[in-house]
Amino acid sequence: MTGWRAFSTVVRWDVAREMRRRSTLAAMAATALVVLFVLSFAVDARRADDPRIRAGLLWVTWILAGAVGAERAFRGGRDAMTDGFLLAPIPRASLFWGRTVSTFLFTTAMSALSIPVFLVLFDASVPSAGLAWLAAVSLLALLGMSALGVLLASMTSSVRGGDVLLRLLMLPVLLPAVAAAVTGTGQLLGGQDPGIRPAALLLAFDLTFLGAGHLLFDHAAEDRT
């Protein structure tokens, strides 16, 4: 089976299963909503007027919800579908790309659902001219987050306390991407033009971790128990 066919088969069956059970989407959406509601009560309304704070709140929500999705994206030894894919005659790199894209689709759906809630709770608005920019930066950041999450989840899935370890490893590594996304989103929410720099940084981050996953996933997904 070619890499492309293997990739499309993994994505198709991942999406088919999620459409049947909706547990990953539900878990991410519930996390995002809870975090947004808690933050809306906890953050001082005057400080939340600062667009950088608002951008930070939005990205904290997406990162926490995205980590839930990443943890569920690879459960070697604990998930029949993942183990079935590992036994299939497909390159492991195709499994990495397939899992990254399906996780990206789920996190994008979660983000799309949470944006209206965020805008209402924090009385924020996005200038119509900046919508394309926000979409591009969000998609780049979510793609990088998905790639990193799937790669790290494959490394930690067979380790005791792997869920906690995944977050401990994922969040610091995400910092450069988060800093770029938060800075750009803050400028946009404040009515400024963020320019191309945040998107370029996120693109570099994505290429780094998509490349690392492509090369390392075969070793990372190996059984270590």
Partner 1 sequence: MSAPAVSARGLAKRFGPREALRGLTFDAEPGRCLAVVGHNGSGKTTLLRILATLSRADAGELSVAGRSLPKESVAVRARIGVVLDDALLPSDLSLAEGLRMHADLHGVPSPEARIAELCERFGLAPRQDDPVRTFSRGMLQRAALCRALLHAPELLLLDEPSNGLDASGTALLDAEIRAHCARGGAAVLVTHDLERVAACADRALHLRSGRIDADGPAADVIRALRGGAAA
The least distance separating partner 1 from the CB of residue 11, rounded to whole angstroms, comes to 12
Stretch that binds partner 1, among 86-94, 103-111, 169-177, 201-209 (CB under 8 A): 86-94
SS (H, E, C) 72-101: HHCCCCCCHHHHHHHCCCCCHHHHHHHHHH
The least distance separating partner 1 from the CB of residue 86, rounded to whole angstroms, comes to 6
Please state, in angstroms and rounded to a whole number, the distance separating the CA atoms of residues 51 and 40.
Answer: 14
The least distance separating partner 1 from the CB of residue 91, rounded to whole angstroms, comes to 6
The answer to whether the beta carbons of residues 10 and 91 sit under 8 Å apart is no
The least distance separating partner 1 from the CB of residue 83, rounded to whole angstroms, comes to 5
Residue 13 as a binder of partner 1 (CB under 8 A): the answer is yes
Distance between terminal CA atoms of the chain? 29
Nearest by Cα to 39 from 129, 110, 122, 95: 122
Q: Which of residues 166-225 bind partner 1 (CB under 8 A)?
A: 222-225
Please state, in angstroms and rounded to a whole number, the distance separating the CA atoms of residues 77 and 47.
Answer: 46
Which residues, 6 or more positions from 221, have their beta carbon under 8 angstroms from its beta carbon?
A: 74, 76, 86, 92, 95, 154
The least distance separating partner 1 from the CB of residue 170, rounded to whole angstroms, comes to 25
Phi-psi region of 71 (alpha: psi -120 to 50; beta: other; left: phi over 0): alpha
Query: Binder to partner 1 among 21, 46, 47, 160 (CB under 8 A)?
Result: 21
The pattern of x and - marking residues 26 through 65 that bind partner 1 according to CB under 8 A reads ----------------------------------------
Query: Binder to partner 1 among 4, 7, 9, 141 (CB under 8 A)?
Result: 9
Phi and psi of 195, rounded to 5°?
Answer: 75, -170
Query: Binder to partner 1 among 30, 34, 38, 81 (CB under 8 A)?
Result: 81
Q: Which two tokens stand for residue 99?
A: 């899992």
Q: Which two tokens stand for residue 216?
A: 């390392």
Query: Binder to partner 1 among 84, 191, 195, 211 (CB under 8 A)?
Result: 84
Q: Which of residues 87-126 bind partner 1 (CB under 8 A)?
A: 87-91
Residue 6 as a binder of partner 1 (CB under 8 A): the answer is yes
Q: Which residue has tokens 């780049």? A: 140
The least distance separating partner 1 from the CB of residue 212, rounded to whole angstroms, comes to 20
The footprint of partner 1 (CB under 8 A) covers 1, 6, 9, 12-13, 16-17, 20-21, 80-81, 83-91, 222-225
